[in-house]
Amino acid sequence: MPVDSLRAGMKGVGLTVLKGTRIDSFSVEILGVQSNPARPGRHVILARLSGAGLEETGIIHGMSGSPVYVEGRLVALPPRQQPPVHKGGALR
């Protein structure tokens, strides 16, 4: 899904493995999209995560490569590195 199609309030789902080999899902609410001044032409998707305890931790180590879908379309993969977050997350 193109970044310019995302709007605040859109809902989605992410998939990841938190323990063992079981695929866990979590909810995603898009909060907005920002330009990334450090990487011209790239964007940061701001999102609130919930479920699987992520509402307290945000994106955690090991979630890079976990897909996020909005309206059934692939939107983003959580980054390998990101600043600490609280009750939310940044998707790139």
At 15-66, the pLDDT tens digits run: 999 889 999 999 999 999 988 777 787 888 888 889 988 878 777 777 878 8
Task: Return the CATH class of domain 3-91.
Answer: mainly beta
Instruction: Specify the higher pLDDT residue, 13 or 53.
Output: 13
Tell me the backbone φ, ψ of residue 4, rounded to 5 degrees. Answer: -70, -5
For strand 73-76 and strand 43-50, is the pairing parallel, antiparallel, or unpaired? unpaired
**Is residue 91's pLDDT more than 80?**
no
More confident residue, 43 or 84: 43
Domain boundaries, the chain: 3-91
Cα–Cα distance measured from residue 23 to residue 33, given in angstroms and rounded to the nearest whole number: 27
pLDDT (0 to 100) of residue 86:
45
